[in-house]
Amino acid sequence: MTDSLSNSSTQQMLALRVMRLARPKFAPVGGFSHDPVDPTGFGELLAGKVSELSKESRNDLPIGDYLIAPQMFENIYLGETFTFYVNVVNESETSVVNVSLKCELQTSTQRVVLPCSVQDTTIESSKCDGQVISHEVKEIGQHILICSVNYKTLSGENMYFRKFFKFPVSKPIDVKTKFYSAENQDVYLEAQIENTSNSSMFLERVELDPSQHYKVTSVSHEDEFPEVGKLLKPKDIRQFLFCLSPIDVNNTLGYKDLTSIGKLDMSWRTSMGEKGRLQTSALQRIAPGFGDVRLSVENTPACVDVQKPFEVACRLYNCSERALDLQLRLEQPSNRHLVFCSPSGVSLGQLPPSQYVDFTLNVFPVAVGIQSISGIRITDTFTKRIYEHDDIAQIFVS
């Protein structure tokens, strides 16, 4: 922290001390290897002396040989809790009255008043009054802690001074997202989380809070490897996958407009157990461009026998804003591995906006292997536009 003091022309009777409260760190343990079977014993003697010197060098630290107090102002990261102790000390030889302390935190966008209980109190000579204050950091960039002290001398003179403490707030993690749209209206969210801080962190929770239009399922291997993906060293990246399914699967036109996915909620702890938590802003995706119509396969067998017909249940959605008069036409594939047995040129009727129509295709397999269903053509009889649908499903023919 850096600070600047604004005084009046009169000598101040009070002094202000601000100390950040942080947990200790692990002390580096020095060692000296030696040969245990050395007949001279010189290596063992030297190792003992090195150990004694290491202990002597840390005798001034009150927390033992394995932990050290913070030697400098550590980095403050977004999502962590900034805790500090503010103390008002009376350095004069007389008492002062009506002492009030006000603490504010100035960021680039706002000024937050922090709760402080040092209000209208009396501080005797060589005495002090202070408080521990905590605040969850919610913005990155430069922060200024402003501490203002008002008091009155015994002669009735009003006194006032302020101190400013500047410190930066950095981003501890970087989140990158990718969206994948499936044919069954599901949306897959891939989240890449990178540790951009200078220390390791242990991810306690990475969850997706979906919007009101979706329900979410986490796709992970935490049951098989519960601890593998949770430890993040500096610059490490972990990937998380979520599947979002629309609650109203029949609202096709509305599905096109469902660009709000939800918020990613993350919490972690440092190596010394300090907590951190971040939540992203509302994640937005680009709605897939289906055009005026969208065809989905509702039901089809995964495996069929050769030369035995099977059925494919299809559903056709009207994604436009006008009614469509549609006709179904089937083109036989050139390889003749799958042959349509259903009639072609069938009218599907007039389909209102945001509605769908179901139809069934009878298919006859004539060749073994993995075969793809193609050749479905939908014609808008008003505009004469033809919508081609190929490779809508794969079937294994045995």
Q: Which amino acid is at 199?
A: S
- Among 269, 286, 303, give the residue marking a domain's end: 286
Give the number of domains in the chain.
Answer: 4
Hunting for tokens 């209206």 — which residue is that? Answer: 185
- Among 262, 286, 310, give the residue marking a domain's end: 286
Average model confidence (pLDDT) for the chain? Answer: 81
Give the model confidence (pLDDT) of 223-248 as tens digits. Answer: 544 554 588 899 999 989 999 888 87
- Neighbour tally for 286: CB within 10 Å: 8
Q: How far is CA 163 from CA 83, 92, 101, 105, 271, in A?
A: 17, 19, 11, 12, 33
Q: Are residues 219 and 132 in the same domain?
A: no
The token duo for 207 is 């969850």
Q: Are residues 11 and 52 in the same domain?
A: no
Q: What is the CATH number of the domain that holds 238?
A: 2.60.40.1480
Residue 236 neighbours by CB under 8 Å, 6+ apart = 194, 195
Is the Cα dihedral 243, 244, 245, 247 positive or negative?
positive
Looking from the CA of 116 toward its CB, the CA atoms found within 13 Å total 25
Q: Give CA torsion, residues 49, 54, 57, 61, to 10 deg.
A: -140
Least confident range from 100-109, 251-260, 264-273: namely 251-260
pTM, two decimal places: 0.61
Question: Domain range spanning residue 314?
Answer: 293-397
The yes-or-no verdict on residue 197 having pLDDT over 70 is yes
* Rounded mean pLDDT, 264-277: 86
* Rounded mean pLDDT, 4-17: 67
CA nearest neighbour of 149 among 136, 134, 164: 164
pLDDT, position 144: 92
pLDDT, position 100: 92
CA nearest neighbour of 176 among 194, 201, 188: 194
pLDDT, position 296: 81
Q: Are residues 158 and 219 in the same domain?
A: no
CA nearest neighbour of 392 among 279, 327, 313, 276: 313
pLDDT band, residue 132 (cuts 50/70/90): very high
Q: Are residues 12 and 150 in the same domain?
A: yes
